[in-house]
């Protein structure tokens, strides 16, 4: 009974932590791609030696993850502390900016809510442990990647690589799978999509996916081991079909824009992280292999 109480308090704390971090993830999702664009532009300009007091570059250098403080994109009014409470502020402000009443996208509280639920779920699943802490970081990374890729067709290296290294590190202690399987998962995760990419490019002269997709699958392989790569790919096709149909139902066939592969991969990765073993067991049972 006492441990039940302890567990529920950890889950409640995790929920609140997840909501708060969700509010930061909104900033990451919004600003990280802009930071990447401006740094690419700067690199290109330096490369072309055209960096002659370009006002654009100087403007953009003042832009980071932590500054400027959050403000309304329309009237530039700074967001006060009480307006920064995850989900609750959105409800209190009735979804509008406190100063100019421009509507705040519903997406912000939704991302905060998803972050809260994913964080609470990790603690419920693993209880208070190293695994839970790692699963939380894993979930936050996948959540950010999902929305950044959906918005910009980008999977930033600054998220996929640390995720990959952290997966290998965690499994050097055998937390989610053994180290050998994690290394194979990373290598074959990368190479499998890399081969598909080049085959597709050779056959059609088009680029079917980005390099970020290889890195993301490598990271997922590092966390879950090589045997989970195929279930992740199959699951991402399934997630793609479900989301595709949902998009058409919500926006209509004409307005539904295609989603890049990254979000499917990230969502499938999250599902397989918790239910992959169960899905594999169910599959083997269904195919009757275990009867041989
Ligand atoms: Zn405003």
Distance 257 CA to ligand 1 centre (A): 29
- Domain range for 15: 1-109
One domain, residues 45 and 149: no
CB-based contact 179:186 (threshold 8 Å): no
Which residues, in sequence order, are bridge partners of residue 21? none
Distance 161 CA to ligand 1 centre (A): 36
Report pLDDT digits (tens) over 257-290. 767 899 999 999 999 999 999 999 988 888 876 5
pLDDT at 275: 96
Q: Kindly state the percentage of the chain with pLDDT values over 90.
A: 57
Distance 80 CA to ligand 1 centre (A): 12
Distance 75 CA to ligand 1 centre (A): 4
Distance 71 CA to ligand 1 centre (A): 8
CA nearest to 217, candidates 243, 185, 176, 179 = 185
| 126 has pLDDT over 70 | yes
CA distance 102 to 283: 50
Distance 145 CA to ligand 1 centre (A): 27
pLDDT at 54: 60
What integer best gives the mean pLDDT of the chain?
A: 89
Distance 98 CA to ligand 1 centre (A): 6
Distance 100 CA to ligand 1 centre (A): 4
| 17 has pLDDT over 90 | yes
**37, two tokens:** 């664009």
One domain, residues 269 and 138: yes
Distance 17 CA to ligand 1 centre (A): 27
Distance 89 CA to ligand 1 centre (A): 14
One domain, residues 90 and 134: no
One domain, residues 140 and 236: yes
Predicted confidence band of residue 247 (pLDDT cuts 50, 70, 90): confident
pLDDT at 171: 98
**52, two tokens:** 């002659």
| 1 has pLDDT over 80 | no
Number of domains, the chain? 2
| 39 has pLDDT over 60 | yes
One domain, residues 103 and 230: no
Q: Which of the given ranges, 38-47, 220-229, 252-261, 276-285, has the highest pLDDT on average?
A: 220-229
Report pLDDT digits (tens) over 131-149. 999 999 999 999 999 999 9
One domain, residues 78 and 135: no
Distance 147 CA to ligand 1 centre (A): 23
Report pLDDT digits (tens) over 43-88. 888 888 765 666 555 555 566 777 777 888 888 888 888 888 889 8
pLDDT at 68: 74
Ion ligand 1: protein residues whose beta carbon lies under 5 Å: 72, 74-75, 77, 97, 99-100
One domain, residues 87 and 137: no
**252, two tokens:** 């209509």
Question: Which segments within 135-232 are labelled E, that is strand?
Answer: none
For residue 123, tell me if it sits in a domain.
no
Distance 153 CA to ligand 1 centre (A): 28
Report pLDDT digits (tens) over 168-212. 999 999 999 999 999 999 999 999 999 988 888 888 887 777 889
Distance 240 CA to ligand 1 centre (A): 36
One domain, residues 265 and 157: yes
pLDDT at 164: 98
């Amino acid at each position: 009974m006492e441990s039940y109480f302890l567990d529920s308090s950890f889950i409640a704390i995790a929920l609140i932590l997840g909501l708060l971090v969700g509010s930061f993830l909104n900033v990451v999702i919004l600003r990280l791609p802009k930071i990447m664009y401006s740094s690419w532009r700067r690199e290109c300009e330096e490369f072309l030696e055209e960096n002659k007091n370009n006002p654009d570059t100087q403007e953009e250098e003042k832009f980071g993850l932590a500054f400027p403080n959050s403000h309304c994109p329309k009237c530039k009014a700074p967001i006060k502390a009480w307006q920064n409470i995850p989900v609750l502020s959105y409800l209190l402000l009735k979804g509008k900016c406190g100063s100019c009443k421009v509507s705040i996208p519903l997406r912000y509280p939704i991302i905060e809510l998803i972050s809260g639920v994913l964080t609470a779920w990790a603690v419920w699943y693993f209880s208070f442990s190293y695994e839970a802490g790692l699963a939380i970081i894993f979930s936050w990374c996948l959540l950010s990647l999902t929305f950044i890729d959906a918005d910009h067709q980008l999977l930033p290296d600054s998220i996929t690589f640390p995720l990959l290294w952290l997966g290998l590190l965690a499994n050097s202690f055998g937390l989610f799978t053994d180290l050998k399987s994690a290394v194979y998962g990373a290598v074959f995760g990368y190479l499998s999509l890399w081969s598909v990419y080049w085959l597709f490019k050779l056959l059609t002269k088009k680029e079917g996916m980005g390099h970020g997709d290889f890195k993301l699958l490598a990271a997922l392989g590092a966390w879950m081991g090589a045997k989970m790569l195929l279930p992740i790919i199959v699951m991402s096709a399934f997630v793609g079909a479900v989301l595709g149909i949902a998009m058409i139902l919500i926006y209509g066939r004409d307005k539904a824009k295609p989603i890049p592969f990254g979000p499917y991969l990230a969502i499938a990765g999250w599902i397989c992280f918790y239910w992959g073993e169960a899905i594999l067991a169910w599959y083997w049972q269904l195919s009757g292999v275990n009867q041989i």
